[in-house]
Amino acid sequence: SQQGEEDPQALSIQEGENATMNCSYKTSINNLQWYRQNSGRGLVHLILIRSNEREKHSGRLRVTLDTSKKSSSLLITASRAADTASYFCALQPGNTPLVFGKGTRLSVIA
Which residues contact another protein by CB under 8 A?
A: 3, 30, 33, 35, 40-45, 48, 88, 90, 92, 95-103
The distance of closest approach from Cβ of residue 3 to another protein in the complex, given in angstroms and rounded to an integer, is: 8
Nearest to 91 by CA among 71, 106, 75: 71
The distance of closest approach from Cβ of residue 78 to another protein in the complex, given in angstroms and rounded to an integer, is: 25
Query: Closer CB to another protein, residue 42 or residue 69?
Result: 42
The distance of closest approach from Cβ of residue 14 to another protein in the complex, given in angstroms and rounded to an integer, is: 27
Query: Closer CB to another protein, residue 16 or residue 57?
Result: 57
- Counting DSSP H helices and E strands in the chain, the numbers are 0, 11
The distance of closest approach from Cβ of residue 48 to another protein in the complex, given in angstroms and rounded to an integer, is: 6
Distance CA 10, CA 17 (A): 15
Quick one: three-class SS letters along 68-101?
CCCEEEEEECCCCHHHCEEEEEEEECCCCCCEEC
Query: Closer CB to another protein, residue 45 or residue 80?
Result: 45
Query: Closer CB to another protein, residue 18 or residue 58?
Result: 58
Q: Tell me if 106 sits within 8 A of 84, measured CB to CB.
A: yes
